[in-house]
Structure formats: structure tokens, C-alpha cells
Amino acid sequence: MAKLGDFLKSINTSKTDLMSGEEAELNEKDYVPFIINRSMSYFPDTVLLANSMNMFSTLPKHMQYQYFRLATRKGKRFSKWHKEYLPKKHELVKEFYGLSDAKTKDIIDLITKEQLKAIKERLFKGGPDK
């Protein structure tokens, strides 16, 4: 079973074919085209390849993988994933109630200024306030 990192490594550096051989079927099930396309779109030399795969997203997974593997120049590529900025208010409510980001987004507008002030006071751990 191949992981995301294995697919990216075979596309970018090693060029070994993970979709042939004994584990081809298992590896094809593990291949997630959206994630691969997204990670390939971060680089100037592969952004057009990712755009091509977005236009032909109905192709079978093994064909998309082979396209990236064969069309991408060998080279090391690493990029951090973009994370959404969350305001301080969001972080306070999330920590206080122990909610996920999605659930916090759902309820954040229901929290009043007074409630937020009380939450901030309860979570205060000392030290300079940032």
C-alpha cells in the first residue's frame, strides 16, 4: 500500500512506477487525484500539469498518475500546505468548548461580546496578554 508521500516521491524524484506489479490495484485505491493535483500546483514548473489534470479529472487514476510521473521533470519539490488563518476569537471559543474548526465556525456568530470576555478571562493563564 502506497502513501501520499510515496506517490509524490515517485512522481518527483524516483520515477518508479507504483501502479504496476503485484500491488497495482491496492496502490490505485490509495491514489487521491485531488491531493496530488493540489500538491503539484504549488510549483511553477508543474502548475500547468496540475491544471491539465484538473481539466481531465475524469481520467482513471492510473492514467493521471502516469501522466504526472512521465511529464514531470525529476527534482525535489516540497511545500507546506496552506492553512486558513483563524482569528483570536475563533481560537478562544474552540479551546473553551473543545470544538473542531468546522463546529466553531458554525457557532462563532452566536457568541456575544460579554460571553467572549468571560471565556477570555476563564482561559487566561497569566503573563503578558497578546
Length of the chain counted residue by residue: 130
**Which cell goes with 16?**
518508479
With 90 as the cut, is the pLDDT of residue 1 above it?
A: no
- The confidence band for 129, taking pLDDT boundaries of 50, 70 and 90, is low
DSSP three-state, residue 89: helix
7 close to 65: Cβ distance less than 8 angstroms: yes
In this prediction, residue 22 carries a pLDDT of: 79
With 80 as the cut, is the pLDDT of residue 79 above it?
A: no
Q: In this predicted model, which residue has the larger pLDDT, 68 or 126?
A: 68
In this prediction, residue 68 carries a pLDDT of: 93
Where residue 86 falls (left for φ over 0; alpha for ψ -120 to 50; beta otherwise) is: beta
In this prediction, residue 98 carries a pLDDT of: 92
73 close to 13: Cβ distance less than 8 angstroms: no
